[in-house]
Copies of this chain bind each other. A is one copy, B any other.
Amino acid sequence: MARASSTSRPAECCGSVLDAPLDEVEALDLARAFSALSDPVRLRLLSLIADAGEVCACELLEPLGKAQPTVSHHTKALADAGLIVGAKRGRWVWWSIVPERVARLADALAPATRTAPV
C-alpha cells in the first residue's frame, strides 16, 4: 500500500549538486532523501534488500539484530524516501529496491566533470 507515488516530476530533472547552486526546495528534497541514508541500520537494510532482490520483512530482523517495530520503522523511512517499495502478499510484505531512485541520488553527487552529456 501507500506506494510512494512519484510526484508530477519526471524524476530525471536534476544534475549534480556540484554543478549549479541548489535552490532551497530542491535542497530540502535531496536532504530528505539523504536523511534516509544517514542511519547505519537503514544502509544495511537497503543493502540486504538489494542483495536479495526481494526480501520478506520477516527475514530482516535477524541479520539486523533489531526488534520488529524498529525494523518496521526503518523500512517505512526508506519507503517514504522512495528508495524501496513493499508488496504485500498474503501475510508477508516483500521489499525491493527502486533502482532509479537510488541512481538519482548518485547522480546528485556525480562529479561536475560529467556535465555536457548532450
Contacts and interface: CB of A to CB of B under 8 A. Distances in A.
B34 A21 contact: no
Given A21-B48, A22-B43, A24-B40, A106 B102 contact: no
A17 B43 contact: yes
Interface in A46-91: 46-48, 50-51, 63
Interface size class of A (residues with CB under 8 A): 35 or more
Given A17-B43, A18-B99, 10 more contacts: A19-B50, A24-B44, A27-B47, A30-B43, A31-B37, A31-B39, A31-B42, A50-B112, A99-B111, A106-B106
A20 B49 CA distance: 10
Contacts of A48: 21
Q: Main secondary structure on chain A at its contact with chain B?
A: helix
A64 to B, nearest CB: 10
A32 to B, nearest CB: 8
A18 B43 contact: no
Given A27-B44, A31-B38, A17 B50 contact: yes
A46 B16 CA distance: 11
